[in-house]
Structure 1
Amino acid sequence: MKQHEWLQSRAASRTQLYIDGFWCAGEGGKRLPVVNPSTEETIAEVEAGNAADVDCAVRAAARAFRTWKKTSGAQRAVLLRAIARGVNDRREHLAALQSLNNGKPLDEARIDVSDVVATFEYYAGLAEQLDEIGESAVAIPSDEYRATIRREAAGVVALIVPWNFPMVTTAWKLAPALAAGCTVVLKPSEITPLPELELASIISDAGVPRGVLNVVTGTGPEVGAPLAAHPLVAKVSFTGSTAVGTQVMKTAADTIKGVSLELGGKSSIIVFADADLDLATDLVAGGAFFNAGQMCSATSRVLVERPIADALAARLADRVTRTVVGDPFKPGVQMGPLTSRAQYERVQRYIARGKADGARLVIEGEAPAGSGYFVKPTMFVDMPAESPLWREEIFGPVLCLRSFDTEDEAIGAANDTEFGLVATVVTRDAGRGRRVADELEAGVVWINAPQAIFPQTSWGGYKRSSIGRELGPFGLAAFQEIKQVLVPAGSLAGPERGHGA
């Protein structure tokens, strides 16, 4: 039996809800099918949670918070490192489960697992630091009083994560939430719940106390909406579409709870005439076709300086035609299927629209026929700036090129979007690279670099792409409240230590 066939035979090992330290059935008695996007076969059925399950999970988290918030940063760090070890020990199984459920090539899935390990390790280090910096004195212009600032856990937090990077997006939220001392209710995407449920199993095995992590699978209306609305939830951290993020924010407003949003993008890569064409080709192809283009950070808008526009287009056309699309478990496959039928149909509509709009050149690669949500990698050249393909997030392997003549024109075109997540600049001129990066309205800018992301830095964008930041110390701060304490000078002993945040 091949590896993925063996994996599929046992994919249903974790399909229940995880609430208060136990695996359990949902109150409604309903199940949701989970599909292998490469074959369109149902590989498992998971519990379809509802508002009653959400309430049970939130109340379990609220009970656990009373104790968990009092643990030291060092204690939480031990558990975070145990989670990292658990993920690392099951690295190949988790990568294969990602490929089976999401459709990404196995090598890409392995990168994701490494990211999860690195994220938990990083926040374990920050948790340890909280024992020293959780409370600090503040200089004030008075000898009569002493002021301190304390960072405390926000409370019960709701984490709502998408289907394009299972476990990765979860780790970016869950690791800092646990490090801060929060308790969690996690809602995975109903499309890719299997990797998240396996991660919950690892966290349970690591010894995280009951109720600290709870996982409720189900749809947005049945689980996501009541979770965002629950009065005992102090903070919602959501990654997904801008449309759904807007609804999450509106719902959270009713109970005045904190909100972090990581939403859409329509990002540009700017290639200047002095660029290394081999490097530019690699960066454009990677930015557009990694994870089959299903990335909020996809740099699918290529702005290329006119003197090299034809040369770059020719190289990219060759890359498109040579991209190997197929079963993510087969050696040499560079791009798997899209993750769902709905996304497949959406991308096909955009491609048909681009052809109908009369782009100067259309290049399509090859994709397997028959079952599976496989889409041909596609490139349009000289797409009008007002075209939906140029302006709207497609979330698929569709690349659009436009030429520019001046640096200012390139900057203006890159910033001419309602989003502001990422951007890439390709040039041999270091001064120009930094100058352009300074002018771009984006939360992350890569200069002559692939889309490398490190947990020590930051993630998030401007405009309609984000509210708040993930990763780095900013990710931890997103799950903390700030408390100021003012006392008469000399009336109380110094601030306690060893209780974390």
Structure 2
Amino acid sequence: MAVLVSQKRVQSILQKLGLSDVNPGACIGPDEWIEDPNGEKLISYNPTTNEPIASVITATAATYDRVVEAAAEAFLEWRMVPAPKRGQMIRDFGDALREYKEPLGELVTLEVGKIRAEGLGEVQEMIDICDFAVGLSRQLYGLTMASERPRHRMYEQWHPLGPIGIITAFNFPVAVWSWNSAIAAVAGDTMIWKPSPLAPLTAVAVQHIANRVLADHGYKGVFNLVIGSNEEVGERMINDHRLPLISFTGSIRVGRHVAQTVAQRLGRTILELGGNNAVIVTPSADMDLVVRAVLFAAVGTAGQRCTTLRRLIVHKSVVDTLLPRLIDAYKQVRIGDPMDDNTLMGPLITPKAVENMMAAIETAKAIGGEVLYGGKARPDIGPNFVEPTIIKMPEQLPLVCEETFAPILYVMEYETLEEAIALNNGVPQGLSSAIFTNDLREAETFLSPEGSDCGIANVNIGTSGAEIGGAFGGEKDTGGGREAGSDAWKAYMRRQTVTINYSRELPLAQGIKFGDFSDTDDA
């Protein structure tokens, strides 16, 4: 049965968040929205029905420059605000997000097709990172080191870096921005946000909430928005010497271009790129845990997470036990309206994403893969709906080493733990990984230097659903960046080593002697 979305509900969500049928696509603070006279209308479509929701007017190069200039000017003031004071503003921003959690979460569902629980969960991530950043605002510490020179004190301190660029993807249209912006703000940076053109409305809604908080604190130009094309905005951002840091979330292909371009001007990057994540299931694994973890990790967000489970590596002795249970669980996945609380899987983001998934399934079958469940598009539900799919593969062929951004789970068998770890590591990407085992030696081997080569390694939980308390990111083609958690704040600041001489002498380091230039009296 096809999904029908109530226009009354859509309009209610837009109204609660201050959105209109047509919205300006650039902003530099409270009451300073910019509607570019030369901008084009960017329509946001609901992937559940492919019907238009609302639109924004995109920014051209001139508007982009105006936004960056405002961010650069605001930085001069914001960098001198004490970090705990900056934290107070982020605390209030977190409280404002609590107030708007339901409509903003539902807008995420409306605009990118996540089920409602995941949409609300994404806003909760924003709230959580704000709480984290508030505490961090009093912990931007530097180390004191012992100087080899007598009566000298040496220490390091951290200063705000400058205006930074944040480029986000459709699948986490608001959370990833907050991972960067909340920490960057307490670090003393201002920022320019270029959201995905597939999710412009959520960005405008977040900017409205941020503007309200900025107005309460008497600031502008800290959080800035510029929605525009890759040519007019994206390329300018990554080439802009005024932006010392670019945080980019997206494909490996584009990530390489961003890294090379920013490196040419000796800028910094935080790259969160592709994932091709695996779970190893050992003979001692708790199969109840495995089935539940695999189901969410592989089917959640319709397979459109960078941490989505794409490869299931199962010991030969338990594969025949696990697969029937997994298939039975897949059969119970309700596909449909993501606004319905009973739905577990919504649509893919575009018709092109459906085409890519179907092409991958056909290729898998052609090279020896066996479709155990799913494998079909579901136009009877809506234009972008598909069945979650399980494919048993004879080995880890090149197709399996690619990331198809869709709910396809490839199953492979193994005999030894060494073989399983080699399969886990044998792809270009290195984001998330997990092992299910009750064997201490297997778990510790997986977590050791000879184990998983990914930035995230879990035991007895799935590959997705990372908490903001831990640094998020991966290795190899995943980009090597880290966001949230741990000491990721250092990426948004510049380190300065300080040495203070409080003696009357001037000894040099390493015992170097450079002549005696004592003062002489020429009188």
Bin the TM-score by the shorter chain. over 0.9
Provide the C-alpha distance between the structure 1 equivalents of 2:323 and 2:232, rounded to a whole number of angstroms.
Answer: 46
One of 473, 480, 500 as aligned partner of 1:460 = 473
Q: Does 1:444 align with 2:470?
A: no
Equivalent residue letter for 1:24: I
Provide the C-alpha distance between the structure 2 equivalents of 1:103 and 1:179, rounded to a whole number of angstroms.
Answer: 32
Q: How far does the alpha carbon of each residue in 1:404-444 deviate from its partner, in whole angstroms, 9 at most, with x for none?
A: 01111101111101111110110112332122122110111
Q: Does 1:336 align with 2:346?
A: yes
Provide the C-alpha distance between the structure 2 equivalents of 1:2 and 1:25, rounded to a whole number of angstroms.
Answer: 26
Q: Does 1:424 align with 2:434?
A: yes
Provide the C-alpha distance between the structure 1 equivalents of 2:437 and 2:357, rounded to a whole number of angstroms.
Answer: 31
Q: Does 1:105 align with 2:112?
A: no
Q: Does 1:47 align with 2:57?
A: yes
Other-structure match for 1:498: none
Provide the C-alpha distance between the structure 2 equivalents of 1:47 and 1:225, rounded to a whole number of angstroms.
Answer: 19
Q: Does 1:382 align with 2:393?
A: yes
Q: Is the 8 A contact 2:13 2:106 kept in 1?
A: no
Equivalent residue letter for 1:16: P
Q: Does 1:372 align with 2:383?
A: yes
SS at match of 2:138: helix
The 3 A distance-change label for structure 1 pair 50 and 348 is: farther
Q: Does 1:469 align with 2:482?
A: yes
Other-structure match for 1:255: 265
Provide the C-alpha distance between the structure 2 equivalents of 1:477 and 1:457, rounded to a whole number of angstroms.
Answer: 14
One of 176, 180, 195 as aligned partner of 1:173 = 180
Other-structure match for 1:499: none
Q: Is the 8 A contact 1:325 1:333 kept in 2?
A: yes
**RMSD after superposition:** 1.9
Equivalent residue letter for 1:376: E
SS at match of 2:435: strand
Q: Does 1:193 align with 2:200?
A: yes
Q: Is the 8 A contact 1:19 1:60 kept in 2?
A: no
SS at match of 1:175: helix
Q: Does 1:89 align with 2:99?
A: yes
Q: Is the 8 A contact 1:7 1:96 kept in 2?
A: no
Judge which range, 289-298 or 218-227, deviates more.
218-227
Other-structure match for 1:356: 366
One of 490, 493, 498 as aligned partner of 1:485 = 498
Q: Is the 8 A contact 2:74 2:221 kept in 1?
A: yes
Provide the C-alpha distance between the structure 2 equivalents of 1:106 and 1:284, rounded to a whole number of angstroms.
Answer: 20
Provide the C-alpha distance between the structure 1 equivalents of 2:405 and 2:8, rounded to a whole number of angstroms.
Answer: 29
Judge which range, 465-474 or 334-343, deviates more.
465-474
Q: Does 1:434 align with 2:439?
A: no
Other-structure match for 2:28: 20
Q: Does 1:4 align with 2:9?
A: yes
Q: Does 1:239 align with 2:252?
A: no
Percent identity (aligned): 29
SS at match of 1:93: helix
Q: Is the 8 A contact 1:8 1:43 kept in 2?
A: no
SS at match of 2:309: coil
Provide the C-alpha distance between the structure 2 equivalents of 1:30 and 1:166, rounded to a whole number of angstroms.
Answer: 21
Provide the C-alpha distance between the structure 2 equivalents of 1:8 and 1:69, rounded to a whole number of angstroms.
Answer: 36
Other-structure match for 1:327: 337
Q: How far does the alpha carbon of each residue in 1:324-361 deviate from its partner, in whole angstroms, 9 at most, with x for none?
A: 11110123110000122332222222122223333134
CA deviation after TM superposition for structure 1 residue 2, in Å: 7.5
Q: What TM-score, normalized by structure 1, do the two folds share?
A: 0.93
The 3 A distance-change label for structure 1 pair 219 and 315 is: farther
Count matched residues.
487
Specify the structure having the higher radius of gyration (Cα). 2
Q: What TM-score, normalized by structure 2, do the two folds share?
A: 0.89
Judge which range, 62-71 or 277-286, deviates more.
277-286
Q: Which runs of 5+ in 2 are unaligned?
A: 1-5, 505-523
Other-structure match for 1:182: 189
Provide the C-alpha distance between the structure 2 equivalents of 1:253 and 1:387, rounded to a whole number of angstroms.
Answer: 30
SS at match of 1:375: coil
Provide the C-alpha distance between the structure 1 equivalents of 2:401 and 2:95, rounded to a whole number of angstroms.
Answer: 42
Other-structure match for 1:114: 124
The 3 A distance-change label for structure 1 pair 84 and 362 is: same
CA deviation after TM superposition for structure 1 residue 94, in Å: 0.7
CA deviation after TM superposition for structure 1 residue 9, in Å: 6.2
The 3 A distance-change label for structure 1 pair 260 and 472 is: same
Write the mapping of 1:58-69 to structure 2, written as runs, cut at 5 A.
58-69=68-79
Other-structure match for 2:302: 292
Equivalent residue letter for 1:170: W
Provide the C-alpha distance between the structure 1 equivalents of 2:356 and 2:105, rounded to a whole number of angstroms.
Answer: 27
CA deviation after TM superposition for structure 1 residue 3, in Å: 6.8
CA deviation after TM superposition for structure 1 residue 144, in Å: 4.4
Q: Is the 8 A contact 2:26 2:63 kept in 1?
A: no
